[in-house]
Structure 1
Amino acid sequence: MSVVIVGTLDTKSEEIGFARDVIEGQGVDVHVVDVGVMGDPEFEPDTSAAEVAAAAGTDLETLREDAERGEAIETMGEGAATIVGELHDEGVLDGVLGLGGSGNTSIATAAMRALPYGVPKVMVSTVASGDVEPYVETRDIAMLYSVADVEGLNQLTRRIISNAALATVGMVDNEPDVETEDKPTVGITMFGVTTPGVQAAREHLEEMGYETIVFHATGTGGRAMENLIEQGVIDAVLDVTTTEWADELVGGVLNAGPERLDAAAETGTPQIVSVGALDMVNFGPEDSVPEEFQDRNLHVHNPQVTLMRTTPEECAELGEIIAEKLNAATGPTALALPLDGVSMLSVEGEDFYDPEADEALFKALRENVGDDVELIEVEADINDERFARTIVETLDEYVSAG
């Protein structure tokens, strides 16, 4: 077993050396990758900073002389990603540990994101108590707040670095006995307001012999599913909840980017796409909603989440966007419309009930979707058992025919 430590030995040699000693004390090999740019290490790493720079297509002296700090960090991140990827492929990386401030966090997590899901990844960081999305993105990286700066060893940093080192050892030394079966895997998107329908669909699929992976459509969830489709982990897609596109269009906080809905189309993965939670745009606490939207139909979901109803005009544009995405599909594709409501909140009697807006969405989809996309319309809301069974049976037909 071997743990790779990624760190800037020009500034963190003492702390990295301590982490190395803790891990080796557990009988686990350590491979240190130096990503420091400005100075020389206090001990000899297994992979030098010069080798990391070369892996990024440059040399260390050039970075020292010519690069701005941000450019140097980005370059060393690229090189570190290449190095750890090669170490993993060679079978000499069972887990990776990083520790440092924002610069080393950026470099080390870039390397971690290059590794497959399931490989242990632990980052001790001074920025771990803030917004870590830029560092974690869609990967399974464990972030541990360092509390104090990673600068010198003391009663606090010794304990925290030891905890991180031992946690990494625990992960690589106790590989979980994860049951794997030769079943087709279906990726499903879900939101709180589409949960009953997704749960019903998941249960039907599992009864039919599928494995399911459910993604919370919070931006990173959608991007994670797209990544796994590209990697071939997901064999079919039940994209019930496409709400991230509402945030992308209108400016909400849970957007998944303009590539959302591209992966299945490009890979030919069988997919059923619906319109779950396109009745809403997500913001944070109520006082965080932009002033331009203060007069809109708002629903306080909880103290941290405020929802805004999409307008007929926005819904029409969303329909055009989604139709265009589906028209680009190279594999079996269906568009499923729940005509009685696209979420818990848009059914009759609820806060976001707006037949005009829903019809604008449906009309735009009907008018713009191509002939190669199967159109399924169900007189039920998205959480109705009938809708769940319909889309599951259609997806099963696509997979069975493939």
Structure 2
Amino acid sequence: MGNRILVAGTWDTKNDELGYIRDVILGQGGEVLAMDVSVLGDPSLPVDITKHDVAAAAGSSIAAAIAAEDENVAMQIMASGAASLAARLHAEGRIDAAIVLGGTMGTDLALDLVSALPLGVPKYIVSTVSFSPMIPPERIPADVQMILWAGGLYGLNSICKASLSQAAGAVLGAARAVEPPRRDRPLIGMTSFGKTVLRYMVHLKPALEARGFEVAVFHATGMGGRAFESLAAEGAFAAVLDFAPQEVGNHLFGSAISAGPDRMTAAGRKAIPQVVSIGCHDLVDLVGWHPVPDRFRDSPFHAHNRILSSVVLSAEERRQVARAIIARIGQAKGPVTLLLPAKGAHEWDREGGPLQDSAGLSAFLTELRAACPSNVRLVDLEFHINDIGFAEAALAVIDGWIAAGVLPQASVAEGQSVTAE
């Protein structure tokens, strides 16, 4: 049972609050490993990992942090050391989860610390700026939990105790209840955009599971793409079916719904076999309650719900997306197959559909073909991306890789079929 929680923060200035979190965890039968990331002062309570340990893990010292005479520089030293130590402690089996407390300075450090822990490790940030637009999406780990530290800028009171006690109980409960990702079956990562828009996973997931794979489908709305890339960078996937690359266009055109500049790159860097396609390539997703940017004022528009809207790209904008996708998969160190469904890239993009633009799709496909590098196998399909023929084409690529030894021959459960449903 996971009981040992890393409790990190500036124990010189947040001694009472961090001590309270520690006491709640201990009172619930957990264990605590206390890490001090302060610079100037010293804690009045004992800690397990001192500020000197943290600075040394960053290849520096507290003296150097103080000599910098810049709190930002000093805290980045401590953030680097804290992240390095947290990763090491988890790898050594000495912690099961982490909770970090802070204001803006502590939150800046906390984001580095929790990012150093693998996906699936419970990680909590208790912050006075939780959910604030000051926190850039690209610094938020895909599975972090944030709790607003209400009324807690200085000292304990009944308001902040309500937040701190919930956070302490949450991280301990998560550490005890978490079911870490298994590694008993080869994992295939797939991107999509929701069952009403892209439906290929309905056919592909059971068919791939029948072949002995585990399948994880990621919602390509910024954070989902970041989680996908994070796992790819760890080498967690045997193969990826990256069929929903619209986060590339989102980033290219400045949308807040972005998975960052490195979307569609991690699998290639790790030589993970990739089957790539064009789902929702023509859409740029926008925060639904934000005003539509001026450049898209005259673009076709679809309100998916109150928090997510999409605009349809012009032919020239789609060509830019095509070049950005090719630039990414063209650097891949492993095999890449690019599937091009000629009859549409999402459910709204069917003949007679509300967002269909045949000329725009043709321009996009033409650009992909013209720019396609030699390392990418291009397959034209006379299907819509949601047709079963598209799913069968993707399965044919996977089966070919299995036969060639590119992918492992996963064990198939007794009685299961190896054909698409």
**TM-score normalised by the shorter chain: which range applies?**
over 0.9
Offset at residue 329 of structure 1 (A)? 2.2
Alignment of 1:248-397 (within 5 A): 248-285=251-288, 288-397=291-400
- Say which SS state the counterpart of residue 9 (structure 1) adopts: coil
2:13 corresponding residue in structure 1: 11
State whether residues 138 and 259 of structure 2, in contact with CA within 8 Å, keep that contact through their aligned partners in structure 1: no
State whether residues 101 and 149 of structure 1, in contact with CA within 8 Å, keep that contact through their aligned partners in structure 2: no
2:81 corresponding residue in structure 1: 79
2:66 partner amino acid:
R
CA distance in 2, matches of 1:399, 1:222: 26
1:139 corresponding residue in structure 2: 142
State whether residues 381 and 390 of structure 2, in contact with CA within 8 Å, keep that contact through their aligned partners in structure 1: yes
2:101 partner amino acid:
L
2:189 partner amino acid:
G
Alignment CA distance shift 1:365-1:179 (3 Å): closer
Alignment CA distance shift 1:366-1:175 (3 Å): closer
State whether residues 324 and 369 of structure 1, in contact with CA within 8 Å, keep that contact through their aligned partners in structure 2: no
1:205 partner amino acid:
L
Alignment of 1:137-176 (within 5 A): 137-176=140-179
1:223 partner amino acid:
R
State whether residues 198 and 240 of structure 1, in contact with CA within 8 Å, keep that contact through their aligned partners in structure 2: no
- Say which SS state the counterpart of residue 275 (structure 2) adopts: strand
1:79 partner amino acid:
G
Alignment CA distance shift 1:328-1:136 (3 Å): closer
1:62 partner amino acid:
A
Offset at residue 287 of structure 1 (A)? 5.2
Q: Are 1:234 and 2:237 an aligned pair?
A: yes
1:32 corresponding residue in structure 2: 34
- Say which SS state the counterpart of residue 13 (structure 2) adopts: helix
Q: Higher mean Cα deviation, 309-318 or 195-204?
A: 195-204
Q: Higher mean Cα deviation, 123-132 or 383-392?
A: 123-132
2:172 partner amino acid:
V
2:173 partner amino acid:
G
- Say which SS state the counterpart of residue 199 (structure 2) adopts: helix
Percent same amino acid at aligned positions?
35
Alignment of 1:178-257 (within 5 A): 180=182, 182-192=184-194, 194-257=197-260
Offset at residue 180 of structure 1 (A)? 4.0
1:44 corresponding residue in structure 2: 46
Offset at residue 260 of structure 1 (A)? 1.8
Offset at residue 103 of structure 1 (A)? 1.5
2:388 partner amino acid:
E
String of CA shifts for 1:200-259, please: whole Å, max 9, x gaps: 222221232211111111222222212211212111000110111111222222232332
Offset at residue 355 of structure 1 (A)? 0.9
CA distance in 2, matches of 1:374, 1:198: 22
Q: Which runs of 5+ in 2 are unaligned?
A: 407-421
String of CA shifts for 1:248-296, please: whole Å, max 9, x gaps: 2222222323322222222221110001101111112365111232122
1:322 partner amino acid:
I
Q: Which runs of 5+ in 1 are unaligned?
A: none
CA distance in 2, matches of 1:62, 1:376: 57
Offset at residue 136 of structure 1 (A)? 5.7
Alignment of 1:112-127 (within 5 A): 112-127=114-129
2:418 corresponding residue in structure 1: none
State whether residues 120 and 178 of structure 2, in contact with CA within 8 Å, keep that contact through their aligned partners in structure 1: no
Offset at residue 51 of structure 1 (A)? 1.8
CA distance in 1, matches of 2:372, 2:39: 52
State whether residues 204 and 389 of structure 1, in contact with CA within 8 Å, keep that contact through their aligned partners in structure 2: no
2:90 corresponding residue in structure 1: 88
TM-score, normalised via structure 2 length: 0.89
CA distance in 2, matches of 1:17, 1:339: 61
CA distance in 2, matches of 1:105, 1:78: 13
String of CA shifts for 1:309-331, please: whole Å, max 9, x gaps: 11111112222222232232222
Q: Are 1:100 and 2:113 an aligned pair?
A: no
TM-score, normalised via structure 1 length: 0.93
1:106 partner amino acid:
D
1:3 partner amino acid:
I
CA distance in 2, matches of 1:378, 1:393: 13
CA distance in 1, matches of 2:260, 2:165: 38
Bigger fraction of residues in helix: 1
CA distance in 2, matches of 1:179, 1:236: 16
Offset at residue 307 of structure 1 (A)? 1.1
1:276 partner amino acid:
G
